[in-house]
Amino acid sequence: MKKILPVKKNDEIEAVFEDLTHDGAGVAKVDGYPLFVPRALPGEKAKIKVIKTNKSYGIGRLLELHEKSPYRVEISKQDAHKYGGCQLAHINHEGQLKFKENQVHQVLARIGKLEGVRIHPIIGMENPWHYRNKAQVPVGEKDGKLIAGFFKPRTHEIVDTDESLIQIPEVNEAINVVKEVCSKLKIPAYNEESHKGVLRHIMARYGKQTGELMVVLITRTAEVPHQKKLVDAIVSRLPQVKSIVHNINPKRTNVILGEKTKVLWGNEIIYDKIGDVKFAISALSFYQVNPVQTKVLYDKALEYAGLNGNESVIDAYCGIGTISLFLAQKARKVFGVEVVPEAIEDAKRNAALNGITNVQFEAGAAETVIPKWYEAGNKADVLVVDPPRKGCDESLLRTILEMKPKKVVYVSCNPATLARDLRILEDGGYSTVDVQPVDMFPHTTHVECVSQLILNECNPILNSSEPKKTFPIQARLQ
């Protein structure tokens, strides 16, 4: 028998919001049936229109606010474009931090079934604006001029933007200069429907500590029209620029960067520093976009590793060596592994750049390379993981449980997969001692965490007389 829902599409109803989803939508319930409404906040009362329903939940749209949250921020229509990509722009900074901290508490309890874990207050930014050191914006055309900005949600319609409030000002300036110069030179934008045109995206990267700027032109074509005039104009108007790079992406795809890159002017790389460690950054390098909070994150990872100079450390998912080089300042030896060969070459270059010799990097899947190291006698004292949003690979988790490092430091960009993986490690003989949320991306729904786990047999304060409840690892991964 088909379930009769308490609401239907196009209904207009009064609602009281009691929670937020992980992506920042308000949650109201009608006879227990949840309605998710973007830009609504807990404690608010509003008139909403139901725009979609299924058997489990509905989606609504705000029509009128009758009672507002004290955390709500009003954004004028003329300034709304400056908040592109900011799902939480309608919430003040205090409210955002509360939302993110609560999200971590909820998923660790609901998914991880974790008890007795110290979840510390989230570390926010003193100034949560103009923090992103990188932008890559789509390019289009309107009224005969180039536009560049961000896509409207769930569309490929470009909103032209001259300023983003979360981008470093030098990045905003670089995007605007390139857009203006290319428009004057009548370099056509790429049209994804016809697969014609030239300029697909503009990227800008900025070294906050060094003041060095990189501009990347991403085109469908193998050549850039009016290349000399374009380069000369960029160099004359952007004195910080050290590198102008051309990336070629001829494919009909949503992937931004193509496989071929060449330098049009200046250097292949720019430099930046996090703490005392210097990094070389290419157009293709993965490098954290908020260097201020990255140092906070890495300092906490280093604290949780608790190194005294005698330890062997493995850094899984090491990327270009950012965390590895931080750890190497305190460890006897650090081994880093990353599946992307180009990232490993960057990591080796960054180690040489800093004169750090107690590191060893190898390209390959962590779940393949680490067992090989283990069989060769490299039993790490501390293992650090910083996986993508999907969390750790199942076979890597198995390897950790076989190796039994005394400590695991888990850096996560997704609380849900963090909670899942912590549960697996706990069932395998570890205790999660500390979780530290860090607000790496203010005004967005993303939150990062650093967690410290200690092998039970190495934890002097663990009450070993109470055996931990265990589950088959395979069952926990389904």
Residues identified as active-site: 413
Distance CA 72, CA 443 (A): 12
CA–CA gap between residue 37 and residue 24 (Å, rounded): 9
**Are the beta carbons of 137 and 149 closer than 8 angstroms?**
yes
Q: How far apart are CA 243 and CA 317, in angstroms?
A: 28
Q: Would you give the end-to-end CA distance of the chain in angstroms?
A: 30
221 DSSP assignment: S
Is-contact 47 83, C-beta < 8 A? Answer: no
Looking at residue 454, what DSSP letter applies?
A: E
Q: Do residues 132 and 290 make contact, with C-beta atoms less than 8 angstroms apart?
A: yes
Residue type, 271: Y
Contact 439, 292 (CB under 8 A): no
The residue ranges of DSSP E strands in 358-463, in sequence order, are 359-363, 382-385, 407-412, 430-438, 448-455
> Angle at CA 234, nearest 5°, toward 229 and 235?
100
In 3D space, the residue among 216, 218, 212 whose CA is nearest the CA of residue 168 turns out to be 212
d(CA 56, CA 35): 9
Q: At which residue do the structure tokens 């570390």 appear?
A: 123
